[in-house]
Structure 1
């Protein structure tokens, strides 16, 4: 090995880096769409699993009404809620289980479906029912603390004669 002007002859200084990176860039151009597709499918499956289904039964004086619900049991699904949906089946809704009493408010950001919401305490008692307007950013607040909230198509609670004071059985 000889040294000329302080540079070793066997250094990497003579390699054209652009030419060295071209095969990698070509490879990434080919596989990136597949990687993105796998990530999209994976996130869709994750969302579907995290929104597992269940049933809620509302009762009062022997009258029982059942509702099919998707459960928003992860922070990401609870935050997204029913945003960006075009419709909601007539006898279905979304159940939010906060795991403990909370006073969190709801809003209708990016939600085009008119909804009604019921706030339910830990014992299963319906505390309040409120209607919400599509895309309305004003907070919809409960009358106090609650554990569960259920969003349905607007008017579903009144059509089924469900009012504050009813009890619920939540099958999670």
Structure 2
């Protein structure tokens, strides 16, 4: 087979691979394979997926059609900063808990699905935990409550 024909036959696959490697190809489904850890909020257990990389944090809980009550997603940033979240391509109503290094909830924000409204931490934080909307309220958890788990241990 001539080199030009060989290259043309493999071009679509090479291009798709290049796009995947650079992150330029948008993810169309939910990210379900992230690492998990257990967090606690008083007597309540949370099974949290961890969004660690910029791409994992950007996708977040987009495209999820449902999420069990005890599950959530913990967004972990390299350093404390004012963190702002929106709900583009997110189908579930969520509450974001903005969390200090020691696990203390700084503030909570209820977020409507599929909106681009910005919801920000009231002070610099490194962690944001998204849960189904109402999860914190139903358990009486407000700003000042403290979460437990490996990220907050010893702080």
The TM-score, its normalising length taken from structure 1, stands at: 0.70
Are the aligned partners of 1:100 and 1:122 in contact in 2 as well (CA < 8 Å)? no
Deviation at 1:84, TM superposition (A): 2.2
Q: Deviations over 1:72-117 (max 9, x none)?
A: 1111101111122222222101001113211021111111111111
Judged with a 3 Å threshold, the aligned counterparts in structure 2 of structure 1 residues 32 and 81 are, in CA distance, closer, same or farther, namely same
Deviation at 1:30, TM superposition (A): 4.9
Q: What is the SS of the residue equivalent to 2:84? A: coil
Shifted more, 120-129 versus 158-167: the winner is 158-167
Q: Deviations over 1:51-72 (max 9, x none)?
A: 211111112xxxx211000101
Deviation at 1:38, TM superposition (A): 7.3
Quick one: which of 37, 56, 70 aligns to 1:54?
37
Are the aligned partners of 1:121 and 1:148 in contact in 2 as well (CA < 8 Å)? yes
* Corresponding position: 1:137 with 2:116: yes
Identify, as 1 or 2, the structure richer in helix: 1
Q: For 2:38 and 2:83, how far apart are their aligned partners in 1?
A: 23
Specify every segment of 5 or more residues in structure 1 that has no aligned partner in the other structure, as ranges: 1-21
- The alignment's C-alpha RMSD in Å is 2.8
* Corresponding position: 1:122 with 2:98: no
Q: What is the SS of the residue equivalent to 1:70? A: strand
Q: For 1:65 and 1:89, how far apart are their aligned partners in 2?
A: 14
Deviation at 1:31, TM superposition (A): 4.6
Judged with a 3 Å threshold, the aligned counterparts in structure 2 of structure 1 residues 69 and 39 are, in CA distance, closer, same or farther, namely farther
Specify every segment of 5 or more residues in structure 2 that has no aligned partner in the other structure, as ranges: none
